[in-house]
Amino acid sequence: MIWTAILLLVSIILESTLWPYPLTLVMVFMLISFFPQNSLLLIFLAGVILDLFNLRLLGMDSLIFLLIYTVIDRYSKKLQKENILFSLTILGTALITYNLLFFRNFDPVETLITLVLSGVLYVLIKRFFTRERINGRLEV
Amino acid sequence: MSSINRLYFFLTISILLIILDYFGQINFIKAPADNIIKPIKKTIYSTNLALINFRSIILQYPHMGNMQKQLDEMKKNNDELSLKAGLLQEENNKLRKQLEAPLPSSYGFIPAQVVGVSRYMELASGAKENIAVGMSVIDGSVLIGKVISVTSDRSLVRLVSDPETVVPVRTSRGGAGVITGQAGGGISLTKILQKVPLFLDDLVVTSGEENFPPNLLIGKVGYIVADDTSPYKQAKVNAEVNYNTLTTVFVIIST
């Protein structure tokens, strides 16, 4: 959890200082996808800190991150959560909405590259860091 | 507390924070946070600038031999030039007073250090230095943008290249138009009447409307979109400065 928090903080600093790109959103998405338990506080704090760094209305990013959490949580019970296409569809929608809302920018190539990289990251995290890997068995 | 209750709890707090911040009720949280955030951003931004310079040095490595010869010649020239420099400095000071006069003398300038350039440029100066929303930001006589948000120690500048920016301008041939930012950081010049002459490398400066000071340079026309059926001409403008490498800018206050 500490490493996750550090990664989130790094992405917040990079996003708010150097790159006009929703790096934190991607990190939060991975957090929600793989470690939903006890991640709510971290997601909320990440949003508040991102708002402080970007001088946005405090709570705005938290609200968006929590809404993404709600969507994933709600639909993961109805759809196949393990299907990477489901996750990337939600991430793609979130990225486009977030980019248009905060950066007034929609670059299809950039979004596609992010989705491909996120897909790779998704597979890597699933392969090496999730519980099913650690325990060596699938959860039922 | 169950997961769903916690979710509703945090959602409620988020909405509450938005409402309170909208009415300026939680500035007491933001002000101390600025003192932590500002040095972090300053360090990251200056490190990034140093890395950009380092990368250009590495790319120049194959030409080091030639560069050494050039350096020796330049050292010789430097001695000669330093003699002339003293005389020119005095002359320069007199000329500067005249040349730096595109802005009214009633304008004052607040120097501000740049601590980050993401979508917006962030400055390490805020309300304490009398910076307010709506003030124009310049580098020399080049328009950088407009202040859109201020806390006690920090301010955000919407760059000329931002998609939400609209600046009334005129060209060096007298044509009036409007520039807007484009997604990806470009600048677009529009609303130029077809009958008005427009050529490559024409200078684009502010017209003085919409609270922007007049005669501030924005850039040069880099590409003209030819479409005779449209009532207006369109062009792309090459910005005069690279917004990502600035370290200090000036905020204009009219006194």
A61: distance to nearest CA of chain B, Å? 9
Q: Residue B43's closest chain A neighbor by CA?
A: A17
Q: What is the pLDDT of residue B218?
A: 92
User: Residue B21 in contact with residue A58, Cβ under 8 Å?
Assistant: yes
Size of interface A-B (CB pairs under 8 A): 102
Q: pLDDT per residue over B86-104, tens digit each? A: 767 766 664 554 455 456 6
Q: pLDDT per residue over A5-51, tens digit each? A: 898 999 999 888 887 778 898 889 888 888 777 788 999 999 999 99
pLDDT tier at B189, thresholds 50, 70, 90: very high
| Calpha distance A28→A8 (Å, rounded) | 8
Total number of residues shown for chain A: 140
Q: Residue B139, exposed/middle/buried by CB under 10 A (0-12, 13-18, 19+)? A: middle
pLDDT tier at B179, thresholds 50, 70, 90: very high
pLDDT at residue A56 tops 50: yes
Please tell me the number of Cα atoms within 13 Å of A54 on its side-chain side: 29
Say if the Cβ atoms of A52 and B30 lie within 8 Å: yes
B55-78 burial by CB neighbour count: b if 16+ within 10 A, else e? eeeeeeeeeeeeeeeeeeeeeeee
User: Does ipTM exceed 0.85?
Assistant: no
Say if the Cβ atoms of A55 and B156 lie within 8 Å: yes
Q: Which range scores top for mean pLDDT: A67-81, B54-68, B122-136?
A: B122-136
Question: For chain B, what is the total number of helices (H) and then of strands (E)?
Answer: 3, 12
- Which phi and psi angles does A106 have, rounded to 5°? -130, 110
User: In A, which residues are within 8 Å of B119 by CB distance?
Assistant: 20, 102-105
Q: A137 and chain B: CB distance < 8 Å anywhere?
A: no
Q: Which of A52-61, A72-81, B205-214, B237-246 has the lowest mean pLDDT?
A: A72-81
| Calpha distance A33→A121 (Å, rounded) | 12
Say if the Cβ atoms of B14 and A44 lie within 8 Å: yes
pTM tops 0.90? no
